[in-house]
Structure 1
Amino acid sequence: MSGSLWMPPGSRPDTLPMIPRQRAAPGWARPDPLDELAARLDDFTAAAVHPDEIAALLESDGLSDDQIRERYGVKNSFALAEELYERTERRCPEPEDPPHDPWRAGLIGCLLRGLLFALPGLGYVLGAPLLAGPRDASGLPPATLPLLAGALVGWTWNQGLAHRAYVWLGLGDRAAARRTLLLGAPAGALLGALIAPAVAGTSGTTAVAFAAGQSCYLGAATVLLVMGRERALLVALLPMAAGAVLALSEPVPDTAGLVLLPASLVAVALLALHEVAPAIRAPKGLGVRRTTGPRLSASLPYALFGLATGVLVLCTAVEDTLAGERHSALAPAAVALTLSMGPAEWLLYRFRSGTLTGLRSTSTARAFRRATMRTAGRCLAAYLAALLGLVLATSAVWPGTPQITGVRLAGLLLLGVVLWTGLLLQSFGAVLGTAAICCTAALAQTLALLTHTGSPHWTAPIVHGTAALAQATLVCVLLGRATAHR
């Protein structure tokens, strides 16, 4: 028959034609199988970022290429995946459960740490009768120099020591952290005790002994704070704190300081020794994880940051002491700054939590930078409000406090900006920049105090304002990038 497609029996073409997609017979309303498959896999294909994800799902369902050709009229799973990918609009469904936020921290715990930083200052109230005497040639109360020298050495040493111990804890090696504290805390206490007599001058042996006890306390308290024993430290300090609060309102016997101060020191030292005791009892090398620890040079910037911030706070205390009537090395502004470290720590966690939300909610680098700067501004404003309240409260209840002028208050708030932005940069590992800025500011403020350069009322705002501006610029440059928050 002319024009027919008839073939002799047994003959077949070299290649078979593609099996056409099954079509519904005329008059039937049967849906397209490909539409049914797209509807069934809609949630998965909408969230897929590449067709290969869909192909892997099809293969895991057991669909062979022959079945795909027969049912859907395409040659294999990859072609079917591309078809489904093109048919479905991209969307990323939100998770049913709220995303995990590792930066949530309790406000009460942070406030407790701030209180623990400030409570030891009440020891100077109990010790004031033991250190009584005429002011020295510079106008400072007696024993001020050995106490300040011992405190600066302790803050510097223990800041670096705490960094090393925290790094070991971050590596999961608690035994190494204990060994670090067991060796480092006594060494720092000894160094502080040796510095005090070197600068004592005409101060008596009582001042040197007080400074040595101060150094021992700083080392022992560092052990307890690093190992998370805040409650135990608070309990050990409560009797001394209660006696000091009583001494602020009415006179107490001079023997109160001789009893309560050594008792609290011994209690804190015993608690610290109990905390590092496992490192003493453990045989050398037994159960030790072979983990590469932090280099000594890595802790140096943290130690310098502790020194610089300590100098800035102490300069503020010295200015208050020179201007006040009370013969004491403790100033209300320094107490307020120390207490503010509790809210400062909590607001650092709030900033990290806010930037985590910004990473999820923004889609461009510019939008993330704006969200990060807004979060930083809100947290800084909240910290300054807390600091302002603490400054006003401590000045109201502290005897012999000098009048707080607008310039003086501005200097304190700018110092608060320096402290909080410095802690923020340090928490992101940008410690070199903030240590350099704070050390420069501390040096300038110290020279201004020693040489009486310029008006004492305007020197602090200028120095603190310059440092605050420099660190705020660092925050904008370094923390506005999404890569800094990984």
Structure 2
Amino acid sequence: MHPDEIAALLESDGMSDDQIRERYGVKNSFALAEELYERVTRRFPEPDGPVHDPWQVGLLGCLLRGVVFALPGFGYVLGEPLLVGDPESFSLPAGTLPLLASALVGWTWNQGLAHRAYSWLGLGDKPAARHSLLTGAPLGALLGASVALAVAGTAHPAAVAFAAGQSCYLGAATVLLVMGRERALLATLLPMTAVAVVAMLQPIPDALRLTLLLGSLLAVTTLALLEVRPDGLALKGRGAVFDVRLPPRGRDQPPRTRRQKTTMSPRLTASLPYALFGLGSGALVLHAALSGSAVAAVALTLSMGPAEWLLYRFRSGSLTGLRNSRTPKAFWRTTGTTLTLCLTTYLAALSALTFLATTLWPHTPALDGVSLAALLVLGTVLWTGLLLQSFGAVMGAAAICCTAAAAQTLALLTHAAGPHWIALYVNGTAALVQAALICGLLGRVTAHR
């Protein structure tokens, strides 16, 4: 309540300035109101019942997404015989360049595509989201395959075919993840994963490798097509069995008119910063893998599950801080404490996953101090970048990640010594810049929408 409102209440109760001077020894009702305002502690009663928190999500679902992100890596174990030939530049296996190029294109394109589909879902237009995925995913797969063919050089055609299949998988997996079909995607990847684990321990026939790769790709693309086909068939996951049913017509959301569809359509350019963030963050992870830390790349991929859950925990803690804080400084301190706790927890989870992957992966040496520090700094860059993205400052995160990736690429091309030290310096600088941006946004209530 404002002091002027207190003065209005005093006057409405019939207290004149003369009575106030005689009883309380102050000049008038406004002076009394100011004194009451300073003396009385303001309390804000909580609403009846539990407080609504839209950021409460289950940990298991986020961990499942992290596993789904990591399992496709076993496809490279099965596809190793396809990368035949003499080593390419930087002592990489033959056929690596088409794979890397198509992967970067796929991460960039599908990150932007996912944002556009989520934008349509946020507007309550699920058919438009499906249509954008139906048209965008094949275009992204075609683009990735074309780039792989363009940079193939002397690589074996089998490597180019593998890169094309990778592009198709990335598009189909994006469809299933956006539409919330993580369990369906997991079910299609489990047979390939099981055999890939066996292949790491003992030789298996090449025919079996090829059959599993093609079978998994066919299963994922089929599920994605069923999810976004024009007649709207939807998948209901029940373990490994899928019940295909026609969804009910939208009763909650009234059909949008043509004018509404025109005025409410999300802009294509709004998805560009998210695509660039996908490019920058993907390139940084690739650099971690190419520097001899393939296990680090696996740990980073697995850590995206805990990272997502901790982002939700931060948003939930910010909502609690907004409800309980009385001043902007108090709100900034509360959100800063929550941020520190969440980031520390994420780095601890990343360290544990790195140790676990190093222990379970055959013939893998433990990371030294510099390599581990570079990995943790990279994890900080990725997590704070995701946080900036949730704040709506995705362009800043994209610019920082792309600049860091470009600096490491330049160092790689110029054969600069000590890739782990370069990664530590470059990613450390990026982490500090992103931390400064976050500190400037923590106290802004509008950034936590």
Asked if Structure 1 and Structure 2 have the same fold, meaning a TM-score greater than 0.5 normalized by the shorter chain, the answer is: yes
Alignment-derived partner of residue 103 in structure 1: 55
Q: Are the equivalent residues in 2 in contact too, given 1:168–1:177 (CA < 8 A)? A: yes
What amino acid is the match of 2:214? P
Alignment-derived partner of residue 238 in structure 1: 190
What amino acid is the match of 2:429? T
**Aligned equivalents of 2:60, 2:366: Cα separation in 1:** 32
Give the drift of 1:201: 1.6
**Aligned equivalents of 1:191, 1:404: Cα separation in 2:** 36
Alignment-derived partner of residue 381 in structure 1: 344
Q: TM-score, normalised by structure 1?
A: 0.78
Q: Are the equivalent residues in 2 in contact too, given 1:115–1:342 (CA < 8 A)? A: yes
Alignment-derived partner of residue 257 in structure 1: 209
**Aligned equivalents of 2:126, 2:119: Cα separation in 1:** 10
**Aligned equivalents of 2:7, 2:122: Cα separation in 1:** 38
Give the drift of 1:256: 1.8
Superposed CA RMSD in Å reads 2.7
Give the drift of 1:94: 3.0
Alignment-derived partner of residue 179 in structure 2: 227
Alignment-derived partner of residue 296 in structure 1: 268
**Within the alignment, does 1:485 sit opposite 2:448 as a pair?**
yes
What amino acid is the match of 2:207? T
Alignment-derived partner of residue 361 in structure 1: 324
**Within the alignment, does 1:196 sit opposite 2:196 as a pair?**
no
Alignment-derived partner of residue 120 in structure 1: 72
Residue by residue over 1:263-294, the C-alpha shift from the partner in whole angstroms, topping out at 9 and shown as x without a partner, is 01000101000011136899xxx955533211
Which residue of the other structure, out of 471, 474, 477, is the alignment partner of 2:437?
474
Structure 1 residue runs without a partner (length 5+): 1-45, 56-82, 322-330
More moved, 311-320 vs 123-132: 123-132
Q: Are the equivalent residues in 1 in contact too, given 2:116–2:266 (CA < 8 A)? A: yes
What amino acid is the match of 2:157? T
Give the drift of 1:203: 1.0
- Larger Rg computed on CA atoms: 1
**Aligned equivalents of 2:137, 2:285: Cα separation in 1:** 23
Give the drift of 1:157: 0.3
Q: Are the equivalent residues in 2 in contact too, given 1:179–1:279 (CA < 8 A)? A: no
What amino acid is the match of 1:141? P
Q: Are the equivalent residues in 1 in contact too, given 2:84–2:156 (CA < 8 A)? A: no
Residues 83-94 of structure 1 correspond to what in structure 2 (within 5 A)?
A: 91-94=43-46
Residues 39-438 of structure 1 correspond to what in structure 2 (within 5 A)?
A: 91-278=43-230, 289=257, 290-291=260-261, 292-320=264-292, 331-438=294-401
What amino acid is the match of 1:396? T
Residue by residue over 1:13-50, the C-alpha shift from the partner in whole angstroms, topping out at 9 and shown as x without a partner, is xxxxxxxxxxxxxxxxxxxxxxxxxxxxxxxxx99x95
Change (3 A) 1:306 1:320: same
What amino acid is the match of 1:431? V
Structure 2 residue runs without a partner (length 5+): 11-32, 234-245, 247-253
What amino acid is the match of 2:166? Q
Q: Percent identity?
A: 65
SS at match of 2:215: helix
Residue by residue over 1:231-284, the C-alpha shift from the partner in whole angstroms, topping out at 9 and shown as x without a partner, is 1111111111111112122222222211111001000101000011136899xx
**Aligned equivalents of 2:85, 2:364: Cα separation in 1:** 20
What amino acid is the match of 2:204? V
Give the drift of 1:52: 12
Q: TM-score, normalised by structure 2?
A: 0.84
**Aligned equivalents of 1:136, 1:104: Cα separation in 2:** 48
Residue by residue over 1:374-413, the C-alpha shift from the partner in whole angstroms, topping out at 9 and shown as x without a partner, is 1000000000000011111112222343441101110000
Change (3 A) 1:209 1:54: farther
What amino acid is the match of 1:311? A
SS at match of 2:229: helix
More moved, 378-387 vs 456-465: 456-465
Give the drift of 1:303: 0.4
Q: Are the equivalent residues in 2 in contact too, given 1:336–1:391 (CA < 8 A)? A: yes
Runs of 4+ in 1 over 6 A off after TM superposition: 51-55
Q: Are the equivalent residues in 1 in contact too, given 2:87–2:93 (CA < 8 A)? A: yes
What amino acid is the match of 1:350? R
Give the drift of 1:200: 1.2
What amino acid is the match of 2:57? A
Q: Are the equivalent residues in 1 in contact too, given 2:62–2:306 (CA < 8 A)? A: yes
Change (3 A) 1:388 1:287: same
Change (3 A) 1:307 1:256: same
What amino acid is the match of 2:123? L
Q: Are the equivalent residues in 2 in contact too, given 1:182–1:279 (CA < 8 A)? A: no
